[in-house]
Amino acid sequence: MWNKSDKRRLSNKLAVLNCFDPWSSPRCTCEPKLSLDIYSGCGYECFYCYTSSYNWKYWGRHRVRPKQHILRRLERDIRQIQDGADAELASLADAFVAVSNSSDPYPNAPQANEADLRITRHALATVMRGSFRILLLTKSDMFVRDLDILDPARSVIGSTITTDCDKLARKIEPYCPSPQRRLAALARATGAGFATLCRIDPIIPGLNDAEKDLARLIDKLAAVGVKHIIASTLKLQPSSEKRFRERFSELAAAVAASYDRSRRVSGYYYLREPIRRQCMERVRALAVAQGMGFSSCREGFAELNTTLCDGRRLVRR
């Protein structure tokens, strides 16, 4: 396992590849991996977004943009890892690379539209030229375009789908492709021989936590071949709570008391533990009943996980 100073030292040697979870969050159960954010900020404006607190400068539809010279800097990082001159970097030659966690790799914003820019496509091709394994995570269906450059044996395709209700999705994730399009894209990935996973994250009390809704969503995910569910409950910080109140004023007021305000964990207010545990156990039961793997993300319930939390066990090589 990398500790905080290992992560800092390694990330300082690289330009755009970073060690995942630089803060070493106490509830993160991820094994070591690298992360690659191709764009700065995000244009999907999900009300619950965690990244707006530290990515605020580029957060929003009209602010997201590609990282400067991202492809050239990525090439340099990979050359440094592959040339073996630095033993510590050389040990990363077959690392897992998460694309992306602090932004979406497939923005569709006016000034940053991956459909035209194809920067993510080139970046994925660059990473695939090495021996790295890719954990792709997105809210877009645009990844279908890039299946031809990804190796199914070394890649897992992940999609975040919080609800199968298009109307609700438009309110919580206004600029994302509809859940139906995301489900169809997952079916394409499965059909092309890729292992797929879904993040049902966040689960929001009173919006998408009802057992019948979760069961219907997980049935649909099973039907398109998803093998692993990662779930997490809504965690609040000032920026996401403000948006929550703006978009769901009555509900935000109603669930406010369900949050433990006595302390923050890694900057977030968490729902009270019994509520979170019951929710995670519910999703776990539904996933296991469909023969899927299950893990909870930063909930402090690692014992509920049926496999490694980020889906890396789905990678075949």
Residue window 135-154: x/- pattern of binding to ligand SF4, with contact defined by CB under 6 A: ----x---------------
> Smallest distance, Å, CB 50 to ligand SF4?
7
**Contact positions with ligand SF4 (CB under 6 A) in 37-76:** 42, 44-46, 49, 51
In one-letter notation, the amino acid at residue 65 is R
Where do we find the tokens 């914003």?
A: 109
Task: For the CB of residue 66, give the shortest distance to ligand SF4 in the complex, in Å.
Answer: 15
Report CA 177 to chain centroid distance, whole Å: 16
Contact, 47 vs 244, CB < 8 A?
yes
User: In the complex, what is the shortest distance from the CB of residue 241 to ligand SF4, in angstroms, rounded to a whole number?
Assistant: 15
The answer to whether residue 103 forms part of the interface with ligand SF4 (CB under 6 A) is: yes
Q: In this complex, which beta carbon is closest to ligand SF4, that of residue 48 or of residue 96? A: 48
When binding is defined by CB under 6 A, the residue of 104, 241, 299, 310 that contacts ligand SF4 is 104
H helices within 173-223, ranges in order? 179-191, 211-223
- Residue type at 239 in one-letter notation: S
Give min distance, CB of 139 to ligand SF4, in A.
Answer: 5
Q: Say how far apart CA 10 and CA 6 lie, in whole Å.
A: 6
Q: Considering beta carbons, is residue 103 or 155 the nearer one to ligand SF4?
A: 103
Alpha-carbon Rg for the chain, nearest whole angstrom, is 19
59 vs 194, beta carbon nearer ligand SF4:
59
Question: C-beta of 147: minimal distance to ligand SF4 in Å?
Answer: 20
How does DSSP assign 26-50, residue by residue? TT--PPS-EEE--EES-SS--TT-S
Instruction: Give the span between the Cα atoms of 133 and 154, in whole angstroms.
Output: 5
Residue with Cβ nearer ligand SF4 (104 or 299): 104
Compute CA distances 46 → 61, 116, 239, whole Å: 11, 23, 11
Number of residues that bind ligand SF4 (CB under 6 A): 9
Cβ proximity to ligand SF4: between 39 and 194 the closer is: 39
Nearer to ligand SF4, 49 or 229 (CB): 49
| Least Cβ distance, residue 79 to ligand SF4 (angstroms) | 29
Nearest-10 Cα torsion for 211, 217, 219, 223: -170
Q: Which residues bind ligand SF4 (CB under 6 A)?
A: 42, 44-46, 49, 51, 103-104, 139
